[in-house]
Amino acid sequence: MKNEVGLQVEENIKLSSAKERKVRFKGWQDTLAGYIFVAPMLIGVTVLTIFPILASIFLSFTDWNFITGLKGFNFIGLDNFKNLFKDSIFLKSLTNNIIVLLVVPIGLFISLILAVIINKNVYFKDFFKVIYFMPYISSVVAVAIVFQVLFHPTLGPINQLLMSMGIEDPPKWIADTSFALPSVMIILIWTHIGFQLIIYLAGLQNIPKELYEAAEMDGATSWYMFRKITVPLVSPTTFLLLVTGLISSFKVFDLILVLTNGGPAHSTTLPVVYLYQQAFVELKTGYASTIALVLFVLILLITVLQWFGQKKWVNY
């Protein structure tokens, strides 16, 4: 009897350890498979992103430039940073970027209104989605070239139209220091409406219809319903678009480089454009890295601020 129990126990121990071994083997197998699956991605991100970030931080404290070669760099501490905040072109580019941020709320407002209209009382919804989406998928370089001609101060169709309407001295658009940045902003709004519209349309689908029906029974106007139902209930979507939009407006590069190359008189220079010019035209590697670092911190700051600010106005 005792013997039998003992055997049973022994058997059980054997069984469970085999099971355990099997589980442990599976776990080990899972870990190996996991690493193999993520390896290409991880290696790529490490080599092409993480390592360059560290290098960028390091370079921003040096006076190195492409011409002096690999060995000729000195640590100059915070000098680059001091110079940067005395650099009037850089400060101008920062101001420009702050103005460009306005594109996001203006674009969101227009997109939301268009989305509400398309969602409710329009035939051929899919057709309109495609139309408004076209500028977003189009080649930025091609778009910039087209607008270069459209905005031409004397021969461009836009100004010819304005002059034929009796406006004698229309703005010179991208050739005019005070109109160049607004011109860029108009193009940016035009290209981004499609993207924002599509996301708003998806957000609108999630609002229960009963809310509108109930409000209608109480005699609410459509403007009232828009303000009290639609706007608050799409606020998570608005938040998402605002954060991603503000961040991406710090990356506007192709359009400006082709359209104005930052000019006239730096009126459309943004930090990324200035960064490019310093690094690849002036060949000041260290200085350009400092711009990169400041830009990075700025974007991080905006993201964090947004994150804390959202509680005030986003309804989940």
**Which of 59/188 has CB closer to other proteins?**
59
The CB-of-107 to other proteins minimum distance in angstroms stands at 13
Distance of alpha carbon 58 from alpha carbon 215, whole angstroms = 60
Whether 293 and 60 have beta carbons less than 8 Å apart is answered as: yes
**Which of 13/122 has CB closer to other proteins?**
122
Distance of alpha carbon 302 from alpha carbon 247, whole angstroms = 8
The CB-of-111 to other proteins minimum distance in angstroms stands at 12
What DSSP designation does 78 have? T
The CB-of-10 to other proteins minimum distance in angstroms stands at 27
**Which of 8/154 has CB closer to other proteins?**
154
Q: What are phi and psi of 62, to 5 degrees?
A: -120, 165
**Which of 180/193 has CB closer to other proteins?**
193
**Which of 92/152 has CB closer to other proteins?**
152
CA atoms within 13 A on the CB side of 161: 6
The CB-of-6 to other proteins minimum distance in angstroms stands at 32
CB-based burial, 25-63: b 16+ in 10 Å, e otherwise: eeeeeeeeeeeeeeeeeeeeeeeeeeeeeeebeebbbbb
Helices H / strands E in the chain, number of each: 16, 0
Which residues are bridge partners to 62 per DSSP?
75
The CB-of-306 to other proteins minimum distance in angstroms stands at 12
Q: In this structure, what is the dihedral angle of CA atoms 230, 231, 235, 240, given to the nearest 10 degrees?
A: 100
The CB-of-5 to other proteins minimum distance in angstroms stands at 32
The CB-of-255 to other proteins minimum distance in angstroms stands at 9
**Which of 31/95 has CB closer to other proteins?**
31
Is the dihedral angle over the CA atoms 209, 213, 215, 221 positive or is it negative? positive
**Which of 6/25 has CB closer to other proteins?**
25
Q: Within 10 Å of residue 93's Cβ, how many Cβ atoms?
A: 23
Q: By three-state DSSP, how is residue 75 classified?
A: strand
